[in-house]
Structure 1
Amino acid sequence: MRLKSLLITLITLPLFIFSACAAAEGELQSDDIKPVQVRIIRDSQIMAQVGNDIINVGSLDKDQEIMVYPLSPNYYEFTFGNAHGLIPKDAVLPLSKSKKALGLALADLQKLNQNLITVRPTTIYDRPKDTSKVFGVLNENLRYPILGRLRGEDGSLWYEINIGDDAKYIQADECELDNGVPVLTYHHILQDSENKYFRHTSTTTSVTAFDNQMAYLKQANYQTISLYQLEGYLNNTLNIPAKAVVLTFDDGLKSVHRYAYPILKKYELQATAFIISSRIKHNPQTWDPNSLQFMSISELKQIQDVFDIQSHTHFLHRYSDDKRPVLLSRDEHNIELDFERSRRALTQFNPRVQYISYPFGGYNDNAIQAAKLAGYRLAVTTVRGKVKPGDNPFTLKRLYILSSDSIQAMAERIANTRSDIKPMVPKQ
């Protein structure tokens, strides 16, 4: 169920939904809410916001104790990953113990900028020993922050995590380490039959290949997350699923409106469009597959139910005489002025223009500092790789999926699985 539907139907959870959304912006304010220690009186399913959805994320066992916060009428909230989980009030019994009785305050639980990934239902233990009491279970397809690593009495590796302001333990063999979120890069989309001049350019993808790639994401249960959510992942303030991917389109070409937009809409996927603001057309152009055309004001507005509009600079998307990105020859002040102008021009589509893609992936210290001064919060490059917590937010890596790449190659490139395990690919 999508978050919009849950906002309508889960009327008993308004404070939880508000706080989960606020956590993504780092605005969760619970200092005035006194925590309550409770005992779980029946095996209980728990929920949390993960990416776009509020879902069942696991269960907690009867007779366990946990620190919770009374932030909604029918549910208690508790620390879960980078945000909050939810347990029904009728599943727990408040106790008289103080928070100190847990022996581990939330402020003492520092993350390592490293997550584990659950690939199956994963047991949570009270102690780093498989014969210790079971605290509960994490469902599959979760990324969960790790507090530390330690060896058990038998030499096995364990991960320490925080649930309900207390330390719990997961066997390392039962999960994977998070290898990062893939941010995919696209530019131009054309039908093979009309592609006369862009067939051998890596930035042009065929309609058929793109449709197949998006169908794979849908069939393999990937969730497309926004750059706002990616920022929350980077800053350890938001829970996202293990199967998360970011889709980005540079330049703002008309082919994105013509071909990519309906395909993404068909598969219910979301994306970011990095727009060269000086090239926005006042009126739509007649379609010409033989030239690079740019979207108009009306076309950009039409795609906003699928695309989040962000910046690809204003006048800096061009090469200098020495065939290098012109941005690299500008001083910090001039770059900042361009970045600010682009933000202003794009506010007609989005009041939150906070992210930028460097033209041709070219950047230097001047560009990074200019992006910060112009008010941007993330910047993406064309350096190949995935995005992980702790990465420099102004030099984020991305991946290309080419028309010539097989679906199997795409699956392997974006998967988190260890190199010795081949990801499952749905039959086409």
Structure 2
Amino acid sequence: MVTFLRRNCKIIFVANFREVYPLRFKIFITYVLLFFFAFTHSPSSANEMVDSKIEITHDVTGQIKLLSEEQINYIKLLKGNQYYATSIDDKYWGIQIGNGNIIIPKQYTTIVDGDLIKNTATSQVEVISIKNASIYSEPTRHSKEIAQLVKDMRISTNGLNGNFYEINIGGQKGYVHKWDVQVDNGIPILIYHHLVVDQENSIFKDSTSVYDIDLFKEQVKYLKENNYFTISLKDLDLWMQKKHTLPGKAVALTFDDANLSVEKLVYPILKENNMHATTFVIGNRVKEEIQTFNMNSFQFAGFNELRNILDVFDLEYHTYAFHEFNSKTGRSILQDASPEEFLEDFVNSKNVIKTVDSSLEPSYFSYPYGKYISKYEAILLQSGVSLAFLNKGGKATIDSPRFYVPRVPVQAKMTLDDFINAIQN
């Protein structure tokens, strides 16, 4: 014991807590340090990396880039306007717009002297353009048009100024009319499990968590024909950190459990349509042997099958050994695990994923059965988890709690109309 005296009041400090509860002490210190770091080391914005002021010499379309390297036309910057820009390489400038950045070719710009007043306001409202929307220099349609936001694009704004949303564009303020945009209701993160052919005539006819592959094909067709982008969880993560811009028609496809049907049925469809997805892996069910696929049982992708899908799927944490449910208590066994067991489960899960491919660095976690344990947030942090996902709750917003990110479940007999309603803004 260590005793401190202050104005005749005795304060007792248990000095041997670290020895009695070594893991809990380590978790506590980790949590405190990460909490402190978050508030004292905020990420640098593009405004802090400015190296030039440029003028647009020809109308030019700025693009955003997903982690898949897919480039998307985002905004047209009109001739004669000046912005702060960061040199990316010999050919491109980066310009901050809202929370994200666009790239434009240097050939349509010139470097100019002088200063712009940097706009340091923080974003307050996310909106999505419902048309090719004019952006003005002042909050009136009678002012100069400086840019045009492409239809169906997300943008972070500083809130309403009269009838106009205020936007930060490369150190300048721009204004888009509220009738040309709609408030962003969030990004649908769809959750699937096992998929089968002809569910109506399978043993999973009455299972809500199993879905018919033909209905899934209809969904993929709809996404493609209506210009949706299947984003990675890293794209989502950066957007939620307010470091990244995403298109308005963004959707994330996630598959819990890494069932063998993901490799046999889902993977070929997504690959053919150049789409991206994530599967959350149950570590102790990943085996070396190659299995004969049987849709009428719950099988799990092995090491070879998981390697086969890496050009389409990211592999992330579900659990190693705690994918069991106690129907009497209504709890998953993970909820009753000790801190030591929970931490060890992450270590084992990571070993499995890195056995699939040593370059993989899992950063995202799906709670088994959606059952979470708020007291173990520190272990998620210690294990390098950046986002943790529920199995219901609706769309994810830019301000969703990072360890309780909601998803949209795709359940048996969900019609195409139901699906469309679930993903539309």
TM interval, short-chain normalised: 0.7 to 0.9
Question: Distance between the aligned counterparts of 1:36 and 1:358, measured in 2?
Answer: 46
Cα distance change of structure 1 residues 140 and 51 upon mapping to structure 2, 3 Å threshold: farther
What's the CA shift for 1:188? Answer: 0.6
Distance in 1 separating the partners of 2:167 and 2:320: 45
Gaps of 5+ in 1: 1-25, 152-156, 417-428
Shift of residue 67 of structure 1? 2.0
Asked whether the equivalents of residues 83 and 238 of structure 1 are also in contact (C-alpha less than 8 Å), the reply is: yes
TM-score, structure 1 length as denominator?
0.83
Give the C-alpha shift of residue 35 in structure 1. Answer: 2.9
Q: Is the 8 A contact 1:195 1:290 kept in 2?
A: no
Q: Note the residue ranges of structure 2 that are not aligned, 5 or more in a row.
A: 1-42
| Partner of residue 200, structure 1 | 206
Aligned to 2:329, the other structure's residue is in SS state coil
Distance in 2 (alpha carbons) for counterparts of 1:208 and 1:128: 49
Q: Over residues 134-154 of structure 1, what are the superposed CA-to-partner deviations in whole Å (9 max), with x where a residue is unaligned? A: 111111121111123221xxx
For each residue in 1:266-289, what CA deviation from the matched residue of structure 2 results, as whole angstroms up to 9, or x when unmatched? 222111110100111221222233
> C-alpha distance in 2, partners of 1:198/1:27?
50
1:16-415 superposed matches below 5 A: 35-50=51-66, 52=68, 53-98=70-115, 102-103=116-117, 105-106=118-119, 108-112=120-124, 114-151=125-162, 157-192=163-198, 196-320=202-326, 322-350=329-357, 351-415=360-424
TM-score computed with the length of structure 2 as normaliser: 0.83
Q: Offset of 1:178 from its aligned partner?
A: 0.9
More strand by percentage = 2
What displacement does 1:64 show?
2.0
With 331-340 and 85-94 compared, the bigger mean Cα shift is at: 85-94
Counterpart Cα distance in 2 of 1:109 and 1:66: 16
Change in Cα spacing, 1:42 to 1:298, as seen in structure 2 (3 Å) is closer
- Secondary structure of 1:45's counterpart equals strand
The match for 1:423 is: none
String of CA shifts for 1:339-386, please: whole Å, max 9, x gaps: 222122211235211111111000121343322222211111113211
- Cα RMSD of the aligned pairs, angstroms, is 2.2
1:323 offset after TM fit, Å? 4.4
| Identity of matched residues, % | 29
CA contact (8 A) 2:392 2:409 kept: no
Residue 273 to residue 195, structure 1, CA distance change in 2 (3 Å): farther
Structure 1 Cα separation of the partners of residues 247 and 379 of structure 2: 32
* Cα deviation digits, residues 223-266 of structure 1 (max 9, x gap): 11111111011111112111111111111211222211112222
CA contact (8 A) 2:158 2:167 kept: yes
Structure 1 counterpart SS, 2:298: coil
Say whether the 8 Å CA contact 2:209–2:412 is kept in structure 1. no
| Distance of 1:359 and 1:253 partners within structure 2 | 14
C-alpha displacement of 1:195: 5.0
Look up the equivalent residue of 1:325 and give its one-letter code.
S
Deviation digits for residues 160-182 of structure 1, max 9, x if unmatched? 11111221111111111111110
Paired with 1:55 and 1:62, the residues of 2 have a C-alpha distance of 21
8 Å CA contact 2:207, 2:412 repeated in 1 = no
